[in-house]
Amino acid sequence: MKFGLHYQLPCSANQSAVQRYRDTIEQAVHAEALGFESVWPVEQHFNPDLSILPAPLLLLAAIAERTRKLRLGVAIVLLPLSHPLRVAEEIATLDVLSNGRVEFGVGRGAIPSHFAGFGISQAESRDRMFEELEIIQRAWTGGRLSYQGRFFKVENLSVVPRPVQQPHPPIRIAANSMDTFELMGRMGYPIFAAAQVNPIPRLREFVPLYRNARKAAGLSGDDPEDVTILLPLYIGESQPQIRTELEPSIQHFIQTATMLFQGYESREGGAAHVRKVLERARRLTYDKVSEVMGIFDTPEHCVERLKQLEREFNMGRVICWFNPGGLVAHERVMRSMELFAAEVMPQFA
């Protein structure tokens, strides 16, 4: 099983944005030396308590120049918020800069303020995503591109540069809802499944739906490479030490999640899934997050829990989110990464 790092980059009022970025790059460079396979920042907008990372490809370009083997994943590009030709150009450019190390992760997005901020209808997000994905793949694999769709029109353009990886960088789709798990299975796309979005008990329902849909479509349903799971994860020498270092950050994560959606709860016609997300967020505690969303434990118990998840989900990669909430000190994040690499990763080699 492969292991990567996830970055969302929350930044509270008493933190420096410059230092948060510098620490993140240092962690990624250190991750390569420790044997981690990949890094996966996520695109977010308009809320520093959630993230100060609206342009993950810029961060990956900086990491590319400091590393040589680390795969440069993006988990995810919020595709409905962007023009597909711009995305095609930027992903291909990053693939050239890194000599073919890009993993292209995309998703629809779920946060209403993102769509409102860019003046895009959230109701169109799925249709926009698939239309854009088709344009991007055709731009990478064909000659000059012409396309007439519902949202975009392209006339006789050549997208350059072409990516180093042929026919194109690997594509992976974020699956958050039951219907998306099934649809991605039928379409044959590899997926991300984020435990902070769909806790582990829900993944026990959704991942089999994905694999069964692949089989029903005549595709392999058991390949570990098809499933990547993102986990909030923190390793320490003892439970008291872990709680002391991590609990304030988890509380910040819970508070941010609650504030993010509560403004939409009372709106007339508000989406049912927004209300459900908010209800779940209000019930969260540090212990509950550790139980159903993440692994905050000693190396020995982390190995036990990861092996159980591997038996259940047969995932090929775990993306470790070592600093959910963003308040863990840089040196403690580095120490947790080191413990994980030394005592957990060898058990899955």
Q: Please compute the mean of the pLDDT values over residues 305-324 and round it to a whole number.
A: 98
Q: Provide the β-strand partners of residue 318.
A: 3, 229
pLDDT of residue 263: 61
pLDDT tens for 97-118 read 999 999 999 999 988 899 999 9
Q: Which helix (H) or strand (E) covers residue 95, if one does?
A: helix 84-97
The angle subtended at Cα 328 by Cα 322 and Cα 331, nearest 5°, is 85
63-72, 144-153, 276-285: segment of lowest average pLDDT: 276-285
CATH number of 140's domain: 3.20.20.30
Number of domains in the chain: 1
Beta strands 191-194 and 171-174, pairing class: parallel
Amino acid letter for position 267 = R
Beta strands 145-148 and 153-157, pairing class: antiparallel
pLDDT of residue 56: 98
Whether 78 contacts 46, CB under 8 Å: no
**Is the confidence at residue 271, as pLDDT, over 60?**
no
Give whole-number Cα distances, 240 to 66, 292, 296, 306, 340, in Å: 35, 19, 11, 21, 18
pLDDT tens for 166-191 read 999 999 999 999 999 999 999 999 99
**Is the confidence at residue 329, as pLDDT, over 80?**
yes
**Whether pTM exceeds 0.85:** yes
Assign 92 a pLDDT band (cuts: 50, 70, 90): very high
pLDDT of residue 138: 96
Catalogue the E-assigned strands of the chain.
Answer: 2-7, 38-41, 71-78, 102-107, 145-148, 153-157, 171-174, 191-194, 227-235, 295-297, 317-321
Q: Please compute the mean of the pLDDT values over residues 252-278 and round it to a whole number.
A: 68
Assign 283 a pLDDT band (cuts: 50, 70, 90): confident
- Average pLDDT value over all residues in the chain: 94
Classify the C-alpha dihedral 332-2-56-260 as positive or negative.
negative
Q: How far is CA 12 from the centre of its chain?
A: 21
pLDDT tens for 3-28 read 999 999 999 999 999 999 999 999 99
Q: Please compute the mean of the pLDDT values over residues 124-151 and round it to a whole number.
A: 96
**Cα–Cα distance measured from residue 152 to residue 79, given in angstroms and rounded to the nearest whole number:** 13
Q: How far is CA 245 from the centre of its chain?
A: 24
pLDDT of residue 1: 96
- Residues 6+ positions from 55 with CB-CB distance below 8 Å: 43
**Is the confidence at residue 268, as pLDDT, over 60?**
no
pLDDT of residue 275: 65
Q: Please compute the mean of the pLDDT values over residues 109-131 and round it to a whole number.
A: 94
Which structural domain range is residue 73 located in? 2-348
**Is the confidence at residue 264, as pLDDT, over 70?**
no
pLDDT of residue 198: 93
pLDDT of residue 282: 80
Q: Which helix (H) or strand (E) covers residue 87, if one does?
A: helix 84-97
**Is the confidence at residue 139, as pLDDT, over 80?**
yes
pLDDT tens for 215-259 read 999 999 899 999 999 999 999 999 999 999 999 999 999 999 888
**Is the confidence at residue 212, as pLDDT, over 50?**
yes
